[in-house]
């Protein structure tokens, strides 16, 4: 037996008042995009505050559909539905039993059948149907029992022009549909944190773009491939990510040559923010996103963050700011970026690192050091931005 229809539950959108249709439209659009790779015809429709996905032909694997839907931001839960066109009671009974059998491999559960009869002309009343269908389940699966007050399983049967049977409610990612909240630029490094930060902001409906700082020969081509992999993994949730790859070597070497080595990382991060901001402005992004978390490393102390923030003219979103490493790892594992993030290729933040980088940088001192760069830094930034490589990373 195959699930033929999917009932989409969405939470927050429901309270959006007059803008509600916009959010629903965006959600339906994202659902269509998510289902596209399955190359099968699905009808996405809206009906009485619900969104349905109906399969029009038979060329899909329903597990794949559920998998794809459970990655669409804005969906709180997906209920796989069995829809039958024939209203014959024997047929209904058979479908209910098959549904129960598939949905609950462990039969030792209590249940209740809850019928709603929109089609009042149906030969049996809701009460009769509840009793008859409950009895059928009990007879077929003798480990089950009925509990009308607190059932483990609530089997819903809706008699309309057709009949819907459903019960399972599989959790979606929640949040809001991508594209309902503007666009932002993620600083993507290849580590564990930044993909999680991007995921969390995208989950709030923000379209994500990314920038990666590449430093050959100090970072390898594999490090770059790893970042592309990460972007493609994120894209399963966020949709296509436009990844900007900046060759950062000359800037990094120039800073290394001119500035005190214990300030290298903090100055480098300031220039990364500047460059990210410059590209973001050109592309119409309204904010930056980083994976920083207070105190994780020297460049993420409150002092360092304040000094880094000083170069930013647009809001910087740091969704992981109060997260512990393990909390971040848990999300990374859930969204599937962890395995890639821990591949052992160096990123440009780990090269030339001083043994004891400053943890409490003073803005005045840093600005003083940066003056030493005034001769060439603007040209180097311009050339880095001009030669950026752009890769469209679509879901893999």
Partner 1 sequence: MNLACYNYNIKEFEYMRVYFDNAASTQTAKSVVDIMKKTMEEDYANPSAKHIMGIEAENYYKDAAQTVAETMKVNPKEIVFTSGGTESNNMALIGAAQAYKRSGKHIITSSIEHASVYEPLAYLKEEGFEISVLKTDGLGHIDLEELKDCIRKDTILVSIMLVNNEVGAVEPADEISGIIKKANPKIIFHADAIQAYGKYKIYPKKKGIDLLSASGHKLHGPKGVGFLYVNENIRLKPIVFGGGQQRGLRSGTINTPGIAAMGEAARSAYTDFDSKIKKITDIKDYIIDNIKDLEGVKVNSQKGLLSAPHVLSITVQGIKSEVLLHAFEAKNIYFSSGSACSSNHPRVSKTLKAIGLSDEEAFSTIRLSFSEYNTVSEADYFLRNFNELIPLLKKFK
Q: How far is the CB of 256 from partner 1 (least distance, A)?
A: 6
Q: How far is the CB of 250 from partner 1 (least distance, A)?
A: 5
Nearer to partner 1, 181 or 350 (CB): 350
Under a CB-based contact definition with an 8 Å cutoff, are residues 258 and 373 in contact? Answer: yes
Nearer to partner 1, 216 or 284 (CB): 216
Q: How far apart are CA 69 and CA 35, in angstroms?
A: 8
Torsion, Cα 94 95 99 102, to 10 degrees, reads 60
Q: How far apart are CA 213 and CA 275, in angstroms?
A: 10
Q: How far apart are CA 381 and CA 251, in angstroms?
A: 7
Which residues make up each annotated binding site for ATP?
A: 187-188, 212-213, 269, 291, 300
Q: How far apart are CA 182 and CA 152, in angstroms?
A: 41
Instruction: Name the token pair of 331.
Output: 């999300």
Cα 53 to the chain's mean position, in Å?
20
Count how many residues are written for the chain: 396
Under a CB-based contact definition with an 8 Å cutoff, are residues 261 and 352 in contact? Answer: yes
E strand segments, the chain? 5-9, 42-47, 50-55, 77-84, 110-117, 145-146, 153-159, 163-166, 170-171, 183-187, 207-214, 241-247, 287-289, 316-317, 389-393
Nearer to partner 1, 14 or 216 (CB): 216
Which positions lie near partner 1, rule CB under 8 A? Answer: 216-221, 247, 249-250, 253-254, 256-257, 344, 346, 352, 376, 379-380, 383, 387
Which residues make up each annotated binding site?
A: 187-188, 212-213, 269, 291, 300
Nearer to partner 1, 222 or 360 (CB): 222
Q: How far is the CB of 376 from partner 1 (least distance, A)?
A: 6
Q: Parallel, antiparallel, or unpaired: how do β-strands 153-159 and 110-117 relate?
A: parallel
Q: How far is the CB of 387 from partner 1 (least distance, A)?
A: 8
Q: How far is the CB of 15 from partner 1 (least distance, A)?
A: 50
Nearer to partner 1, 89 or 256 (CB): 256
Nearer to partner 1, 191 or 205 (CB): 191
Report the SS3 class of residue 316: strand
Residue with tokens 């559920």: 66
Q: How far is the CB of 282 from partner 1 (least distance, A)?
A: 22
Q: How far is the CB of 359 from partner 1 (least distance, A)?
A: 23
Nearer to partner 1, 330 or 387 (CB): 387
For every residue of 94-140, which 3-state class applies, written as one string?
Answer: HHHHHHHHHHCCCCCCEEEEEEEECCCCCCCCHHHHHHHHHHHHHHH
């Amino acid at each position: 037996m195959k699930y033929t229809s999917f009932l989409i539950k969405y939470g927050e959108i429901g309270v959006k008042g007059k803008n509600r249709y916009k959010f629903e439209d965006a959600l339906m659009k994202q659902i269509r995009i998510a289902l596209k790779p399955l190359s099968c015809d699905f009808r996405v429709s809206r009906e009485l505050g619900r969104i349905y996905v109906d399969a029009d032909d038979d060329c899909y694997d329903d597990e794949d559909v559920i998998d794809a839907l459970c990655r669409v931001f804005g969906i709180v839960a997906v209920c796989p539905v069995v829809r039958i066109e024939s209203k014959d009671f024997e047929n209904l009974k058979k479908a209910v039993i098959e549904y129960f059998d598939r949905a609950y491999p462990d039969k030792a559960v209590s249940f209740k059948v809850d019928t709603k009869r929109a089609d009042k002309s149906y030969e049996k009343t809701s009460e009769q149907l509840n009793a008859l269908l409950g009895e059928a389940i009990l007879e077929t699966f003798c480990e089950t029992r009925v509990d009308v007050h607190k059932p483990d399983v609530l089997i819903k049967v809706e008699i309309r022009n057709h009949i819907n049977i459903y019960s399972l409610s599989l959790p979606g990612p929640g949040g809001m549909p991508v594209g309902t909240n503007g666009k932002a630029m993620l600083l993507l490094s290849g580590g564990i944190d930044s993909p999680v930060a991007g995921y969390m902001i995208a989950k709030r409906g923000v379209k994500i773009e990314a920038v990666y700082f590449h430093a050959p020969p100090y970072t390898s081509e594999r490090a770059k491939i790893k970042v592309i992999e990460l972007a493609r993994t994120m894209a399963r949730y966020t949709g296509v990510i436009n990844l900007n790859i900046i060759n950062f070597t000359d800037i990094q070497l120039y800073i290394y040559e001119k500035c005190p080595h214990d300030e290298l990382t903090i100055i480098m991060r300031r220039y990364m923010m500047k460059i990210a901001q410059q590209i973001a402005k050109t592309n119409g992004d309204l904010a930056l996103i980083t994976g920083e978390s207070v105190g994780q490393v020297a460049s993420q102390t409150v002092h360092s963050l304040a000094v880094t923030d000083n170069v930013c003219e647009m809001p910087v979103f740091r969704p992981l700011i109060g997260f512990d490493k393990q909390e971040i790892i848990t999300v990374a594992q859930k969204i599937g970026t962890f395995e890639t993030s821990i591949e052992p290729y160096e990123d440009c933040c780990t090269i030339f690192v001083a043994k004891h980088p400053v943890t409490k940088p003073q803005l005045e001192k840093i600005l003083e050091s940066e003056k030493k760069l005034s001769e060439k830094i603007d040209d180097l930034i311009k050339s880095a931005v001009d030669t950026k490589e752009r890769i469209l990373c679509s879901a893999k």
